[in-house]
Structure 1
Amino acid sequence: MMWHKQVTFWLSFLTAIVLICWLLSGVLLPFVAGLALAYFLNPVTTHLERLGVNRLVASLAAIALTLLLGILLLLLVVPIFGAQFSAFLERLPEYIVKLQNMATGEGARWLKSVVGDRLPNIQQSLSQLVSQGASYILGFVQSIWTGGQALLSLFSLVVITPVVAFYLLNDWNGMVAKVDSWLPVKNRDKIRELAREMDRAIAGFVRGQSLVCLILGAFYAVSLTLTGLNFGFVIGLVSGIITFIPYVGSLTGLLLAGGVAIVQFFPDYSMIGLVIGIFVFGQFVEGYILSPKLVGDSVGLHPVWLMFALLAFGYLLGFLGLLLAVPLAAAVGVLARFAIRQYLQSPLYTGEDEGEPDAGSEVR
């Protein structure tokens, strides 16, 4: 009966939290962003505190440095990114049409030799498909761009989020101790163990993968810009940012950069190969150097589960859901593995009655 009561209580608590997040999703964004920032900066603040710096001063220093870096980013990167991104959206349909003509136009003799007289029908169908796809992609990206600007208002980004992060960061140890005191006494050790496992999974992915995205984004943006690729800076930066979705970032960047390179440099195959080689090299560095060193193998987030979490939470809660998707996916993964371990040790799996004595006790 006690086990059933605990399950009912925690499921009810989780349902209430999800319902509150759904009802208040429009105003929770700066607070969730502040919590994420405090969690991200807590190791730095704790390290400064161990060196003898007061916790309040360490929290102020961490937030001030983050704000300074954010302002520099806004002044240096955002104007270039915004200009290139707007120009890229305007010329995206033109690039798609040029790629279509290169693939199925008069010069595509190889395709005519394969399909024969059906080429006109294929061209018409492909033209409609490309036009619809281009319109969908353009509208989707523009909605994200305008929606992000509406959600991440200047007031919430510059004022509310840093203030929330500072208070949470300064009171972090006290909040953790208070929550720890609320844990059920009988199951406190097990809950602490699960919480530490969740923290390792979330920290390993969020902090490690953030550094991977930053390094790859800078590498792709600089490399593609140096090749002279049109919109190379925005393509490289976007490819690096969405690298946290396994395989999606590199594949998206490769398709975008490869398509622009074909339209811009064809028939200079060396330049097209150079652009593709940049992403191949970036994938090699990510897979064999950056991810093993910065993220590690103990995260436990399967790529399919991560993509599902991003889509599901993003659909339910919008941009707030995208912020919550990774930590919630890591936490659910830890709980799922714990539930499986408990099941494998239970009579439901072994088929033994808990009250049935084992063979050794019968002999004695």
Structure 2
Amino acid sequence: MALPMKHQAVIWMVAAIVFLAVLWILGDVILPFVLGGAIAYIFDPLADRLERLGLKRGLAVFVITLVGIVVFAVAMLLVVPTLVRQAIDLFEAAPEMVSNLQAALTERFPDLMDDTSVVRQSLSSIGETIQSRGGELMQGLMTSLSGVVNVIVLLVIVPVVSVYLLLDWDRMVASIDGLLPRDGAPTIRQLARDIDHTMAGFIRGQGLVCLILGTFYAVSLMLVGLKFGLVAGAIAGFLTFIPFVGAFVGGALSIGLALFQFWGDWWMIVLVYAIFQFGQFVEGNILTPKLVGTSVGLHPVWLLFALSAFGALFGFVGLLVAVPVAAALGVIARFLVDEYKEGPLYRGVSGETRAPAHHLERSYANDREAPPDDGPPVKTE
């Protein structure tokens, strides 16, 4: 006999509480396994495609791993050192940039920028804060990454976990499917497909968009000679997963840097602006429609809330699981809304749905505008 819906809801709620408790208790202990699972999930479609081309699963995973090692080695040797060096130089140059801005504002608005002005004091404070906090952040980051444990986690445990999970991914999915409750299996499978569609469209698609745009912005800004162009392009590409935020933050940072570097050479400043305009055009008309699609169903506000909440509660691990959990909760919420609209609470006793109020108002307005219909004309003698 099937369990009542109330008992099923209690069981699933307990499972959700246990999941959150595991995240809370284990924390950074499960970090390499979460990273490995994310990597395996991202590359599972590629492994499946290689299998359809005739490769065995093991050989397909070997090819993916070999390419990943080469890309990672190139990034560590060429890109990462330059990125870190430019970031440190940017933090160190922040006070000088603020000082130049003060001089420009003093020349244009002398009364506003005297020694006792709030604006002048605020600008000085901002420059000093960026230099001190930025230096502390980069120093702490480099110190943590140079630790033996973190190096082992990043270079050994995560790749090993991802390789093993990628090898057994299809078997693990089949095993989980075999454990589903029989009565609810079709519904759970459909929900899982919807969640996978949402996460695939966002994580794989939007991740590829971020990588393409970040590379384009960084290379283009470096080619035009903009200092710290690699940092600005990396920031813009990383934040592209939030609509308009990446282009706004990266564009504002790049144009601000261009104003300091190319002041008076307006064509160079316009060129930096044109790079971001072109990037936005390509993203909106080519990359996002082709790689992400138009119906991902993960609203930016909901995504920001999930990142903030899970990051505050569970730290870095929470940031990693925020997107999958947000996608799952969004799909489940839409499913519950559909169930509610099919239930008696929404339909009422009669079991019929009523038209929305704005439809009724529009219908009433149309009736008032239409000429009265009194039926067929009556013949008079």
Same fold (TM over 0.5): yes
Q: Does 2:196 match 1:199?
A: yes
Greater shift in the superposed pair: 220-229 or 345-354: 345-354
CA distance in 1, matches of 2:130, 2:346: 48
Q: SS of 2:29's equivalent?
A: coil
1:229 maps to what in 2?
Answer: 226
2:275 maps to what in 1?
Answer: 278
CA distance in 2, matches of 1:136, 1:351: 60
1:125 maps to what in 2?
Answer: 118
1:331 maps to what in 2?
Answer: 328
CA distance in 2, matches of 1:253, 1:190: 43
Q: SS of 2:117's equivalent?
A: helix
CA distance in 2, matches of 1:139, 1:238: 20
CA distance in 2, matches of 1:348, 1:52: 53
Summarize the Cα distance change of 1:127–1:166 in structure 2 as closer, same or farther, 3 Å threshold.
Answer: same
Summarize the Cα distance change of 1:90–1:171 in structure 2 as closer, same or farther, 3 Å threshold.
Answer: same
1:218 maps to what in 2?
Answer: 215
Aligned positions of 1:2-41 closer than 5 A = 2-41=4-43
Preserved contact between residue 261 and residue 271 of structure 1 (Cα < 8 Å): yes
1:92 maps to what in 2?
Answer: 94
Q: SS of 2:108's equivalent?
A: coil
Greater shift in the superposed pair: 7-16 or 323-332: 323-332
Find the structure with the greater CA-based Rg. 2
In the alignment of these two chains, the number of paired residues is: 346
Preserved contact between residue 306 and residue 329 of structure 1 (Cα < 8 Å): yes
Summarize the Cα distance change of 1:350–1:87 in structure 2 as closer, same or farther, 3 Å threshold.
Answer: same
CA displacement 1:238-268 (0-9 Å, x = unmatched): 2112211222211111111111111111122
Q: SS of 1:304's equivalent?
A: helix
1:56 maps to what in 2?
Answer: 58
In the TM superposition, residue 278 of structure 1 has moved relative to its aligned partner by 1.1
CA distance in 1, matches of 2:17, 2:323: 19
CA distance in 2, matches of 1:161, 1:78: 19
Preserved contact between residue 212 and residue 290 of structure 1 (Cα < 8 Å): yes
2:366 maps to what in 1?
Answer: none
Aligned positions of 1:175-190 closer than 5 A = 175-190=172-187
CA displacement 1:48-94 (0-9 Å, x = unmatched): 22233222222222222212211111111112111111111111232
CA distance in 2, matches of 1:41, 1:145: 31
1:306 maps to what in 2?
Answer: 303
Summarize the Cα distance change of 1:140–1:11 in structure 2 as closer, same or farther, 3 Å threshold.
Answer: farther
CA distance in 2, matches of 1:251, 1:266: 21
In the TM superposition, residue 137 of structure 1 has moved relative to its aligned partner by 5.0
Summarize the Cα distance change of 1:10–1:93 in structure 2 as closer, same or farther, 3 Å threshold.
Answer: farther
Structure 2 unaligned residues grouped into runs of 5+: 353-381
Aligned positions of 1:129-144 closer than 5 A = 129-134=122-127
Summarize the Cα distance change of 1:328–1:137 in structure 2 as closer, same or farther, 3 Å threshold.
Answer: farther
1:347 maps to what in 2?
Answer: 344
Q: SS of 1:77's equivalent?
A: helix
| One-letter amino acid of the counterpart of residue 283, structure 2 | E
Aligned positions of 1:164-179 closer than 5 A = 164-179=161-176
Summarize the Cα distance change of 1:331–1:54 in structure 2 as closer, same or farther, 3 Å threshold.
Answer: same
Summarize the Cα distance change of 1:133–1:187 in structure 2 as closer, same or farther, 3 Å threshold.
Answer: farther
Q: TM-score, normalised by structure 1?
A: 0.88
In the TM superposition, residue 100 of structure 1 has moved relative to its aligned partner by 3.9
CA distance in 1, matches of 2:337, 2:140: 40
2:80 maps to what in 1?
Answer: 78
2:107 maps to what in 1?
Answer: 106
In the TM superposition, residue 121 of structure 1 has moved relative to its aligned partner by 7.9
Preserved contact between residue 106 and residue 114 of structure 2 (Cα < 8 Å): no
1:359 maps to what in 2?
Answer: none
Summarize the Cα distance change of 1:144–1:319 in structure 2 as closer, same or farther, 3 Å threshold.
Answer: farther
Preserved contact between residue 34 and residue 161 of structure 1 (Cα < 8 Å): yes
2:241 maps to what in 1?
Answer: 244
| One-letter amino acid of the counterpart of residue 282, structure 1 | G
Preserved contact between residue 215 and residue 237 of structure 2 (Cα < 8 Å): yes
In the TM superposition, residue 135 of structure 1 has moved relative to its aligned partner by 5.1
In the TM superposition, residue 349 of structure 1 has moved relative to its aligned partner by 1.5
Preserved contact between residue 91 and residue 130 of structure 2 (Cα < 8 Å): no
Q: TM-score, normalised by structure 2?
A: 0.84
Summarize the Cα distance change of 1:280–1:301 in structure 2 as closer, same or farther, 3 Å threshold.
Answer: same
Aligned-residue RMSD, C-alpha = 2.3
In the TM superposition, residue 133 of structure 1 has moved relative to its aligned partner by 4.2
Structure 1 unaligned residues grouped into runs of 5+: 357-364
CA distance in 2, matches of 1:146, 1:315: 23
CA distance in 2, matches of 1:65, 1:120: 56
CA displacement 1:93-132 (0-9 Å, x = unmatched): 3223322442x31224xxx7xxxx6x35898222333344
Summarize the Cα distance change of 1:242–1:137 in structure 2 as closer, same or farther, 3 Å threshold.
Answer: farther
